[in-house]
Amino acid sequence: MSASTPVQHSTRNTLLSSLVLTLTLVSDALLYLLLPLYFESFGLTLLWVGLLLSLNRFIRLLINPWLVSYFQIMGARKALLQAIALATIASLCFVLMASPWILLASRVLWGCAFALMRLACLHYATEERSLSLKNLGWFTSFQEIGPLLVMLLSPWLLTFLTLSQVLMFGTLLCVLAILPALGLPNPQRQSQAKATASWPKPAPLHQLTFLLCLLFDGVWVIILAPQLVNMGYSTHIALSTVAFIFAAKRIFSMVIGLISVRFALFANTYGWLVFTVGCLLVSGLLMPTAWILFASVLAATGHALLMILMPKLLADISEQENERQLSLSAFTFWRDFSVAIGALFAAILIEQDLITEFYWGSTLITMLLSVWIFKNRKTRSA
């Protein structure tokens, strides 16, 4: 790791950068909760709401070829400070209830801000390999705090605050995120090879990330409620069940992160990744059946583990600093891509009644890829 970041400061830098991310994420999480309910207050239609909430993911995909090279030029600390400024402006646009086109531009700013912040967090968390699992645990736990508090506190805040005042609370937290960012060290210039702008090519582990996130993040979150209704659940019960599962998933991610910090439970990264993929494969086979709730528990558990274990493994197998940053950037790209197209896939699958064929076929492809990765690793180790 860089000489400017001693080993004993690695966890501190991870905590500070993760705190920046969770503080700014509050403003984004508020939009996901409030826009679908109060869209008329912003002069929007539901179509605009869908566009605004999905645009930032596509922006992250578009800027990915230039993200690592820009990040290396700016340095992690300066990139975080710039991201905070972008996030604050983006949040303020919704407080002022600006025109739809300005709100659209603000989501572009948020997409750029989040991409920089997430890469900075992964950079700090994996910079010191001996502490990367512990640091990824802190990162995973911290990034869930802001959105989870939004889910728990927003209904209560709206009983005595106006919509604009609640959104202003998110903007103020974006401003406060400057404080932990200023506590990060200024990086020293290094004579490392700089990344060139290019679309990330998916290595086998990136391909596995894409398939698993498509199945158990992008598509799953959309089809779960309709599938429960088709099984005979009332709309209210289906929505309540889905809300409970999604909240439990965030809490479980925090718990998994804290376990990584406190215990060396996941020290055998590859072994736990094999276990995680196995759980997700079982989930994929059960998802289109009457066992969908059990499959959802496996999906939530497996996805939470995957988000810690995969970045750790990618960082561990990268020999150079430049290679590590590119691999982590590719990881975020293929995860974002899977979620971005997941909603589209899910709509088609529901409309054409192809959920069973999709899950069983995709699970089979994922299993074959997993076996291939495992066999090749065994061959290289022999």
d(CA 331, CA 243): 27
Using CB atoms within 10 Å of the CB of residue 193, give its burial: 0 to 12 exposed, 13 to 18 middle, 19+ buried.
exposed
Query: What residues does each domain of the chain span?
Result: 7-182, 204-381
- pTM here is 0.73
d(CA 328, CA 94): 31
Taking CA atoms, 235 is separated from 155, 222, 224, 227, 355, in Å, by: 20, 14, 12, 11, 19
Q: Are 21 and 122 in contact (CB under 8 A)?
A: no
CATH number at 204-381? 1.20.1250
Q: What is the pLDDT of residue 64?
A: 78
Q: What is the pLDDT of residue 4?
A: 46
Q: What is the pLDDT of residue 378?
A: 54
> Which CATH superfamily is 7-182 part of?
MFS general substrate transporter like domains (1.20.1250.20)
Q: What is the DSSP string of 202-238?
A: --HHHHHHHHHHIIIIITHHHHHHHHHHHTT--HHHH
Q: What is the dihedral of CA 29, 242, 338, 122, to 10 degrees?
A: 50
Q: What is the mean pLDDT of each run of 10 residues along the chain (382 residues)?
A: 55 91 91 79 81 83 82 89 96 90 94 92 83 78 81 79 90 96 78 57 87 88 81 78 79 77 71 90 92 92 87 78 77 84 78 88 94 73 42
Asked if 7-182 and 204-381 have one fold, the answer is yes
